[in-house]
Structure 1
Amino acid sequence: MSVVITAVCIGLPRPFNGAELSAIDKRPVAGPVAIRSFGIEGDMVADTKHHGGPDMAVHHYASDHYAAWDDWLGGHALLHGPAAFGENLMSTGLAESDVCIGDRFRFGSALLEVSQPRQPCWKIEHRFGHKGMVKRILAGHMCGWYYRVIEEGEAEAGDALELVERVHDSWSVTRVFAALYDPNSEATGAELGEIAALDRLTDQWRDKAGKRRNG
Structure 2
Amino acid sequence: MDVYIRSVNVGRPRPGIEPRGRDTAIDKRPVASVEVRDPGPKRGGLGSGVVEDDVVARRHHGGSRQAVYAVAREELDWWAAEVGRDLHDGVFGENLTTVGLDVDAAVVGERWRVGTALLEVSGPRIPCATFAAWMGERGWVRRFTERGRTGAYLSVVQPGRISRGDPVEVVSRPAGGLTVPEVFRGLTGDLDLARRVLDAGILDDRDHATLERKVARRTPTDH
| TM-score normalized with structure 1 length | 0.86
| SS in structure 2 at match of 1:40 | coil
- In the TM superposition, what whole-angstrom CA distance separates every residue of 1:71-114 from its partner, at most 9, and x where no partner exists? 32222x4x0x2211110000123335420111111111111111
| Residues 44-193 of structure 1: pairs in structure 2 closer than 5 A | 44-75=54-85, 77=86, 79=87, 81-167=88-174, 169-181=176-188, 183=189, 185=190, 187-188=191-192, 191-193=193-195
Query: Contact conserved, 1:100 with 1:172, CA < 8 A, in 2?
Result: yes
State which of 185, 198, 201 in structure 1 corresponds to 2:200.
Answer: 198
Runs of 5+ in structure 1 lacking a partner? none
Give the AA of the match of 1:197. D
Please state how far the C-alpha of 1:2 moved relative to its aligned partner: 7.4
Change (3 A) 1:70 1:179: same
Please state how far the C-alpha of 1:29 moved relative to its aligned partner: 1.0
| Residues 36-51 of structure 1: pairs in structure 2 closer than 5 A | 36-38=37-39, 39-51=49-61
Please state how far the C-alpha of 1:138 moved relative to its aligned partner: 1.1
State yes or no: 1:5 paired with 2:5.
Answer: yes
Change (3 A) 1:95 1:207: farther
Point out 4+ residue stretches in structure 1 off by more than 2 angstroms: 16-19, 92-97, 191-194, 197-215
| Residues 17-32 of structure 1: pairs in structure 2 closer than 5 A | 17=18, 19-30=21-32, 32=33
Structure 1 vs Structure 2 CA RMSD: 2.1
In 2, Cα distance between equivalents of 1:21 and 1:141:
27
In 2, Cα distance between equivalents of 1:201 and 1:113:
13
- In the TM superposition, what whole-angstrom CA distance separates every residue of 1:116-144 from its partner, at most 9, and x where no partner exists? 10000111221122221110111110212
Query: Contact conserved, 1:5 with 1:158, CA < 8 A, in 2?
Result: yes
Give the AA of the match of 1:74. G
Query: Contact conserved, 2:104 with 2:149, CA < 8 A, in 1?
Result: no
In 2, Cα distance between equivalents of 1:210 and 1:53:
21
Query: Contact conserved, 1:59 with 1:87, CA < 8 A, in 2?
Result: yes
Give the AA of the match of 2:121. V
In 1, Cα distance between equivalents of 2:175 and 2:213:
21
Query: Contact conserved, 2:2 with 2:99, CA < 8 A, in 1?
Result: no
Give the structure with the larger strand fraction: 1
In 2, Cα distance between equivalents of 1:47 and 1:160:
31
Runs of 5+ in structure 2 lacking a partner? 40-48, 218-223
In 2, Cα distance between equivalents of 1:20 and 1:112:
31
Give the AA of the match of 2:24. S
Please state how far the C-alpha of 1:59 moved relative to its aligned partner: 0.6
- In the TM superposition, what whole-angstrom CA distance separates every residue of 1:26-83 from its partner, at most 9, and x where no partner exists? 11111x42111121111011111111111111011122122332232222x4x0x221
